Structure 1
């Protein structure tokens, strides 16, 4: 093999290796929402701080994340929207070629959603005409770090008590962290049970942002 090509392939393998852990994929999903500390990530992924740090070092070696220090704390974030696009490509390829992924999709996700999800393009057009109410189901911290324009932050546990504040004449579109985030599916089911016309966004906030669609910030 050409030595230059071999060196290039070795570098590419760093990326492949960094994505070979389900824990690291989960960490990347959380970081695609907002910057997070090591302590916060360890709680979210249910790992020790030491194990979380080791996973982050692998991701940092592959240049998928960057780190900044604030006192004794370390905060990590993705190096760019291209990392989100990389994960999306990995997910799409798995859905096409891995039978187990297709089975899980059919068994646990598709059956939860009786209506076709709305695409980002359709949502953009309908929101311009004020035809929909957009609900962000993520925690407030993630919402404040970036969200769809004019979205209302309504975490899943608040929907039942706050549903009366929603316009019953508008379709509601709920979105969460990504296409596999069950919060959006649960939110749609709760809203439908309460008499609302509701659908979920085809993907989540990270994919929306990575595609170059407009984003609003609260901080």
Structure 2
């Protein structure tokens, strides 16, 4: 029979887990975690990329901080946030996998609208001569990227098309299944005459396919 101390411990454990679950019940906070998987970022950078106000971004980050999912440090006049552990990245990735059927339907609809062609992670890893195009912001690319990948942030792509070869397949990737930029960029390249494919997986997915617990940094 369960002792009172054991029951008290179990209740405390589930209470703490519930706090994490409640923390993750916000689309905005999930988006912030997805960005922090890429690399550490300042509050201002996160606000810009999520199109939230700095005040609202700070409130969401405070909730994540209190739940023990992110940490922060001062860098001059800025506050820089990052994930506390590889397990947080795995948690966010697992949440995406839970909703994979719904996500795939949404991505199929987007691919149809943009005219983009897709490629699987397995197929992409078998390509020997394709050019990998990373359309994430430069700070995320510098924190880690597929070996040999060229970085052109999505918002700069159209004005830098001359950097891309016309005689090679181009595989475009961004932040994974929750990011639309890979499909949008692939659609743009296809319209401009390039043979391009959208890889709806992130660099995190790429490096953790065989070692799920590997931390990027």
Q: Please, which moves more after superposition, 154-163 or 10-19?
A: 154-163
1:146 matched to 2:147? The reply is: no
**Match in the other structure for 2:54:** 49
Please state how far the C-alpha of 1:67 moved relative to its aligned partner: 0.8
TM-score (norm 2): 0.82
Deviation at 1:185, TM superposition (A): 0.7
Q: CA deviation at 1:9?
A: 1.0
Instruction: Check 1:94–1:45 CA distance in 2 against 1; reply closer, same or farther (3 A cut).
Output: same
Change (3 A) 1:43 1:156: closer
Deviation at 1:149, TM superposition (A): 0.7
Once the two structures are superposed, residues 108-157 of structure 1 have per-residue CA deviations (whole angstroms, 9 ceiling, x without a partner) of 355546534221x433332xx3x110000112222222211100011234
| Matching residue of 1:78 | 83
Give the gaps of 5 or more residues in structure 2.
none
Equivalent pair of 1:81/1:209 in contact (CA under 8 Å) = no
1-side partners of 2:202 and 2:180: how far apart?
11
SS of corresponding position for 1:32: helix
Counterpart CA distance in 2 for 1:162 and 1:44 is 21
Q: What is the DSSP-based 3-state SS (H/G/I as helix, E as strand, rest coil) of the residue aligned with 1:90?
A: helix
| TM-score (norm. length: structure 1) | 0.81
